[in-house]
């Protein structure tokens, strides 16, 4: 019965009743009373003006039925002496609510439940608590332990009744200094004997910790014990120098409950991000450095706090140069840790990239090969990876520099060694390569590989479909490999990579001319032309293309970006029948400027993102099924300033052209310390000029020129030019990337398990994306958990980037089977008939019945 019905009933049952007094100190019914009028009853809010109200009752309200609503307590015996309306109260009635009976009637509770209602009625009648307890307020579920848990949940601001693990989690979060006031309030509300006893019971069951009363100190102690066991439960025994060994929990049932709490904490969308802060603040007395001192940085830990990760990284940094494989294993153990969703992840990735870098270098012996083709093929299949690792390292290092991290021992030493080793790699590889070329008299045209000046013949002419050619200035081969992986992640088509060798000098003007050539280039007065048409500028390049295909067009990507209408772009450039050349300049425009050259790798990242999007857009929006991506030349790049030994003077003489990596000349009198080449042997030109290049990766010192980013010379990094072909013709690649589960065993401890999936190899043109499904099944082969879909599509060389962690939650109708099965299927297995993996899952949720 509502409060309005009770008021009406009082007046109906007492015909002579004129004034009904109602004292509501909690203001619980104020909203309900004044929301809508009660027919025939005047409601008067009473606050301070009792004397004027008395006159009002005796005059204008004398013929009406009146409810006097007091948002305050009824007057005490002492207060009655001064209560002006006392005579009216005595002559009439007070509305006295039987809260217990009313509550039981509202929720249809049974007589035997009255004692529980009576015990907690002051809290049960509050709307906030009723909302949280909604699922408990039925005759079937209304039990004292559930009521107690529900009230605790309400005090902790949960929206509904939750498991004890989350209740304890919220209490631990409230131990943070910023929640001190809220914690005091909760502890006061939970001082009721039954509520306190229930929380103390949970503390013991989850942590083997006894307490006489619930207090802030007890929660601090409990949190410290939780942190210690969360970190060290993988250690079978306590090490003698472990100062916290007495906190060790040995009972497996308690440990399972503890793990349930950790999983629920990490899995909770509101509380999950607070774990590390709580452990580092409230749990600061459990010092990670003491634990690492006892068990080692390379041991297995169940969870990783931010501080523990820094300690692990500190140890790993010391090992990376000599034992990169071991470091990779250590870092892979970190994968999936929730703390890696923060800026710490960048630092972990830097260390992983460093391990890959050194492992790659350690795998190489001599760089002495038998022929120029072997060098080119080896660079395109293997050696380019070192350049990619170095760029990746510098990119991560830049990001780490913008973040706040503690100083790590060996970090500066490692960075120094990375630069030194990379510089040595460039020198050693290219010294051998150039020596091999020198032995062949630098007759680059004679090397049996595809040449850049044959690009139109090999890739563009005589095609039965439209082709879009994207020429990205200075897109070197290792960058194109990363772009390829981005394109391969798009399952709607297929992409492959090839290479051509650029001529010399490896600069924009010559490279762009080569990509338009159908015959030798003319070189006169420092200018290049084909068929009498200059190869400089988009307009001239379009004219040259139209000699092959009258419908051909050429346009810069900047020009495309300036056109807002896709329809205009399509009709102007992509509705032609034949060739479209698109010129993109992100990397070279940044790298070739001394003021911005140190931003080269940032430009590379932008270029990869832009080109991947552009290729997909050309396919899908402009309906071009074949897209080629290539470049005019590559580049050499070193992040740190190079030694003086890397620079040499430009040879004296009267030269046709000179730059930081080459000289075109007839005057070779002072070039005895350089390689002297016949220009027509290494370029698509008929000429009697010579090309002079410095030894190795040296630079000629040129005033105003940059030195970090250079090109024009004959290093493999400058000359090996990528050609990516992306098509919308689906190519059936039977081999999908493989995976394995990193977990050693699976145990359900709180209705949930974590699974850690490792993609064993990066995607490539021969290994395609793999979509898998994972779920838990019962003995009847029925799915009894959520089913997750994971796409194995990472192209990263870093194992940590190919490791993902997921949580499977057991469904409420999963039954009480002690052994279940984790199954992983290929997504194409629609009927779930042939699992790729089947692993036994021990269901220890059966021990939770005492909750």
* Strands laid side by side in the 803-809 sheet: 739-741, 752-759, 803-809
Output the pLDDT for position 147: 95
The two structure tokens encoding residue 358 = 């050194």
DSSP at 810: B
CATH superfamily of domain region 444-636+709-727: Alkaline Phosphatase, subunit A (3.40.720.10)
**Residue at token pair 């290539």:** 630
What burial letters (b/e) apply to 779-793, b meaning 16+ CB within 10 Å? Answer: eeeeebbeebebebb
CA distance 796 to 719: 25
Q: 57-88 burial, b for 16+ CB within 10 Å, e for fewer?
A: beeebeeebbbbbbbeebbeeeeeeeeebeeb
CA distance 578 to 462: 10
d(CA 340, CA 337): 6
Per-residue pLDDT at 835 = 86
Residues of the chain with CATH 3.40.720.10: 444-636+709-727
Q: Which residues of 111-131 are buried (b: 16+ CB within 10 A; e: fewer)?
A: eebeebbebbbebbbeeebbe
Q: What does the pLDDT read at residue 577?
A: 67
Where are the domain boundaries for CATH 2.60.40.10 in the chain?
A: 739-850
Helix (H, G, I), strand (E, B) or coil at 223: helix
Q: What is the DSSP letter of 571?
A: I
- What's the whole-model pTM score? 0.79
In angstroms, the CA 441 to CA 443 distance is 5
Amino acid 525: pLDDT: 84
Residue 365 is predicted with a pLDDT of 87
Cis preceding linkage at 568, omega within 30: no
CA distance 168 to 407: 35
pLDDT (0 to 100) of residue 448: 96
pLDDT profile of the chain (851 residues), mean per 10: 84 90 89 87 88 91 93 88 91 85 84 91 91 93 94 95 94 96 95 94 95 94 95 87 93 85 87 92 96 91 89 93 90 71 84 93 93 97 96 95 90 96 96 95 94 96 87 98 90 88 96 96 92 96 94 94 89 84 97 95 97 94 94 96 91 90 92 91 93 93 89 97 89 76 72 80 82 85 84 81 79 69 86 85 61 43
Q: Cβ neighbours of residue 570 under 8 Å, at least 6 residues apart? A: 621, 622
CATH number of the 739-850 domain: 2.60.40.10
Spatial contact of 409 and 316, defined as CB atoms under 8 Å apart: no
């Amino acid at each position: 019965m509502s409060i309005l019905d009770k008021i009406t009933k009082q007046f109906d049952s007492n015909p002579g009743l004129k004034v009904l007094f109602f004292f509501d100190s909690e203001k619980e019914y104020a909203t309900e009373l004044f929301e809508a009028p009660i027919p025939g009853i005047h409601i008067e809010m009473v606050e301070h003006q009792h004397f004027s109200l008395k006159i009002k009752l005796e005059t204008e309200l004398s013929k009406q039925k009146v409810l006097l609503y007091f948002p305050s307590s009824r007057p005490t015996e002492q207060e009655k002496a001064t209560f002006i309306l006392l005579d009216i109260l005595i002559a009439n009635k007070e509305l006295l609510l039987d809260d217990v009976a009313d509550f039981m009637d509202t929720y249809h509770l049974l007589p035997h439940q009255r004692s529980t209602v009576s015990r907690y009625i002051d809290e049960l009648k509050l709307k906030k608590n009723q909302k949280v307890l909604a699922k408990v307020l039925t005759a079937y579920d209304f039990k004292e332990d559930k009521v107690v848990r529900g009230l605790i949940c309400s005090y902790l601001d949960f929206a509904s009744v939750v498991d004890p693990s989350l209740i304890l989690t919220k209490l631990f979060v409230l131990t943070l200094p910023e929640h001190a006031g809220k914690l005091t309030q909760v502890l006061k509300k939970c001082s009721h004997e039954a509520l306190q006893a229930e929380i103390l019971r949970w503390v013991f069951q989850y942590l083997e910790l006894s307490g006489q009363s619930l207090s802030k100190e007890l929660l601090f102690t409990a949190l410290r014990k939780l942190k210690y066991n969360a970190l060290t439960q993988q250690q079978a025994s306590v090490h003698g120098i472990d100062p916290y060994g007495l906190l060790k929990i040995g009972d497996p049932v308690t440990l399972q409950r503890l793990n349930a709490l950790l999983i629920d904490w990490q899995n909770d969308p509101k509380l999950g991000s607070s774990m590390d802060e709580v452990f580092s603040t409230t749990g600061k007395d459990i010092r990670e450095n003491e634990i690492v001192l006892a068990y080692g940085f390379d041991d297995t830990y169940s969870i990783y706090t931010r501080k523990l990760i820094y300690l692990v990284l500190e140890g790993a940094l010391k090992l990376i140069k000599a034992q990169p494989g071991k470091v990779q294993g250590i870092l892979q153990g970190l994968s999936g840790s929730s703390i890696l969703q923060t800026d710490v992840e960048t630092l972990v990735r830097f260390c992983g990239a460093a391990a890959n870098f050194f492992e790659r270098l350690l795998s190489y012996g001599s760089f002495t090969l038998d022929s120029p083709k072997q060098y080119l093929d080896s660079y395109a299949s293997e050696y380019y990876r070192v350049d990619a690792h170095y760029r990746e390292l510098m990119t991560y290092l830049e990001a780490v520099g913008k973040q706040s991290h503690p100083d790590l021992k060996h970090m500066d030493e490692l960075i120094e060694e990375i630069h030194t080793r990379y510089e040595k790699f460039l020198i050693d590889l290219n010294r051998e390569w150039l020596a091999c070329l020198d032995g062949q008299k630098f007759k680059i045209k004679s090397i049996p590989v595809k040449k850049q000046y044959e690009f139109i013949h090999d890739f563009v002419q005589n095609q039965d479909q439209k082709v879009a050619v994207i020429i990205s200035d200075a897109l070197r081969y290792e960058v194109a490999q990363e772009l390829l992986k981005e394109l391969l992640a798009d399952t709607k088509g297929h992409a492959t990579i090839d290479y051509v060798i650029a001529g010399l000098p490896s600069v924009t003007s010559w490279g762009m001319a080569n990509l338009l050539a159908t015959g030798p280039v003319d070189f006169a007065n420092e200018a290049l032309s084909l068929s009498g048409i200059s190869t400089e500028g988009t307009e001239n390049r379009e004219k040259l293309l139209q000699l092959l295909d009258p419908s051909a067009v050429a346009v810069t990507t900047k020009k495309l970006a300036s056109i807002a209408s896709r329809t205009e772009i399509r009709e102007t450039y992509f509705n032609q029948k034949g060739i479209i050349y698109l010129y993109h300049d992100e990397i070279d425009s940044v790298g070739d400027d001394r003021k911005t050259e140190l931003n080269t790798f940032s430009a590379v990242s932008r270029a990869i993102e832009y080109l991947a999007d552009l290729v997909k857009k050309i396919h899908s929006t402009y309906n071009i099924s074949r897209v080629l991506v290539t470049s005019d030349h590559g580049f050499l790049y070193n992040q740190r300033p190079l030694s003086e030994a890397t620079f040499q003077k430009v040879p004296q003489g009267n030269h046709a052209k000179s730059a930081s990596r080459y000289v075109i000349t007839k005057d070779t009198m002072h070039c005895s310390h350089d390689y002297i080449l016949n220009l027509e042997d290494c370029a698509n030109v008929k000429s009697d000029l010579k090309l002079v290049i410095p030894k190795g990766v040296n630079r000629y010192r040129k005033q105003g020129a940059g030195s970090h980013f250079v090109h024009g010379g004959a290093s493999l990094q400058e000359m090996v030019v990528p050609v990516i072909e992306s098509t919308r013709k689906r190519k059936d690649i039977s081999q999908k990337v493989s995976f394995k589960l990193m977990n050693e065993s699976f145990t359900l401890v709180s209705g949930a398990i974590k699974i850690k999936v490792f993609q064993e190899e990066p995607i490539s043109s021969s290994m395609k994306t793999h979509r898998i499904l994972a779920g838990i099944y019962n003995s009847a082969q029925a799915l009894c958990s959520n089913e997750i879909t994971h796409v194995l599509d990472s192209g990263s060389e870093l194992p940590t980037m190919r490791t993902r962690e997921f949580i499977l939650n057991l469904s409420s109708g999963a039954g009480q089977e002690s052994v279940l099965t984790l199954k992983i299927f290929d997504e194409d297995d629609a009927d779930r008939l042939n699992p790729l993996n089947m692993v036994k899952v021990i269901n220890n949720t059966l021990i939770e019945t005492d909750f």
